[in-house]
Amino acid sequence: MKVIKDYQNNMQVIKKIDNLRVILGKYRKIGKRIALVPTMGYFHAGHLSLIDAIRKKADIVVLSLFVNPMQFGPGEDLVRYPRDFERDERLARERGADIIFYPEACDMYTELFSTYVVTDQLSEVLCGKSRPVHFKGVTTVVAKLFNIVQPDVAVFGRKDVQQAIIIQRMVADLNFPIEIIVVPIVREPDGLAMSSRNIYLSENERKQAPVIQAALQNALETVKNGETSAEKIRQLVQHKIESAALARIEYIEVIRERDLQPVDRIEPGTFIAVAVWFGKTRLIDNLGLLI
């Protein structure tokens, strides 16, 4: 098969693992660098910024779109997770992706599937406490995607900071020869971090949700003004978020990037991570306090 790359944006949608491997094998043979953008679809500007960030680093951008059942626990939002393939396809095409890999669950997880990738410790803190199977599902599917696509480089968003750190750990521990890029959070004009789940918010919840970012910014200002106590910063964020009547805090933690463990004093590499419920919607956000 002759490999033709149409730079006028002839994006391909590929569903079958074997077909994707054949196509990517040909690109690899002629020296093309391959990038992977793993997603669960329902694109917003945050997803599109991942494509932009990686475009400069590779010749072929593969965007995977797979709502991975393994990373949803019982009672979580797998069934209602927003999906709109036609819209996603158009947005990815307009943004310059080369391939959308859109596999079916039965091809990703055959009946006999029984091998998992687990990153201990890092996956047990923060979101891992309330979502005990989540990161096992993430690392397993991302390891599969890495093996299927064999990218030179892959990109993840900073909003899911724990996920990004776990994946970096997995790549180092299992010697995947893949460069991992983590791109900044993209926010709505009022500061709310973009998330596919924001559409679940009611009008009133949506109005109050930017309190999260306001609280994090407040914390950052306070640190810039000389505060070094992690507990004081934690409390400051807590009080601010509690001022929103509809907010229910799951966690607020001041932790270090290296191992996601809590710190007493703010030091370089410290960031604050939060999970807050508005009604049935769980929002996460984070901010580096001293980079």
Residues forming the site for ligand PAF (CB under 6 A): 38-40, 68, 71, 138, 141-142, 160, 163
Q: Which is nearer to ligand PAF, 241 or 284 (CB)?
A: 284
Query: What are the E-state strand segments in the chain?
Result: 12-14, 34-39, 60-65, 99-101, 153-157, 179-183, 247-256, 270-278, 281-290
Cβ-contact 13, 85 below 8 angstroms:
no
* Residue 47 appears among annotated catalytic residues: yes
Q: Which is nearer to ligand PAF, 71 or 213 (CB)?
A: 71
Closest approach, Cβ 70 to ligand PAF, in A, equals 8
Which amino acid, residue 76? Answer: E
| Non-local CB neighbours of 176 within 8 Å, separated by 6+ positions | 143, 146, 170
Closest approach, Cβ 38 to ligand PAF, in A, equals 4
Number of CB atoms found within 10 A of residue 121's CB: 12
d(CA 159, CA 46): 9
Q: Which is nearer to ligand PAF, 70 or 215 (CB)?
A: 70
Cβ-contact 86, 185 below 8 angstroms:
no
Closest approach, Cβ 270 to ligand PAF, in A, equals 23
Q: Which is nearer to ligand PAF, 34 or 142 (CB)?
A: 142
Closest approach, Cβ 27 to ligand PAF, in A, equals 22
Q: Which is nearer to ligand PAF, 38 or 103 (CB)?
A: 38
Q: For 81-145, what is the HEC assignment? A: CCCCHHHHHHHHHHHCCCEEECCCHHHHCCCCCCCCCCCCCCCCCCHHHHCCCHHHHHHHHHHHH
Closest approach, Cβ 160 to ligand PAF, in A, equals 5
Cβ-contact 97, 51 below 8 angstroms:
yes
Q: At what angle do helices 230-242 and 211-224 cross, to 10 degrees?
A: 150
Residues belonging to the active site: 47
